[in-house]
Amino acid sequence: MAAGAWAALRSVVKPCIAASLIGLTVSDRYFSVAAVRGASMHPTFEGRTGEYALVTPVDHQRKAIKRVIGLPGDWISVPETKEIRKIPEGHCWVEGDNGSVSRDSRTYGPVPLGLVQGRVTHVVWPPRKIGRVDKRVPEGRVMPQRNL
């Protein structure tokens, strides 16, 4: 290959490598985009239409998108069992918005806070649903520790 061809190739490849490294650094540290699959977060996410959410920060392993509704010391009312449970220190309670199909703390109990890798902040795809994800907690189900 002629010297001019190598120079032209290098001038294209070098910026591509730099952009890739910057992109990996940003996605490792600050945010990532995660596909939302399944109906456990319906109606916030439909899960069947190829929706994508902005997650901060990224977890390179399997992600489960759930809503944190209780923190250590809070008391949670579990409607399916009519049980009231206290969330232990170092744990949180997570639930999908669509309880009838969500596999969450109602199934496996409180989750160690160390396993929470980030927070969904926005829907980024499809375009008709682009926007901020509302923070909400099921009304009357969580009794914060400070109120007891």
| Catalytic residue list | 40, 66
In whole angstroms, how large is the CA radius of gyration of the chain? 21
- In sequence order, which residues have a C-beta less than 8 Å from that of residue 121 and are 6 or more positions away? 53, 54, 55, 56, 132, 133
Alpha-helical runs (H) found in the chain = 3-29, 105-108
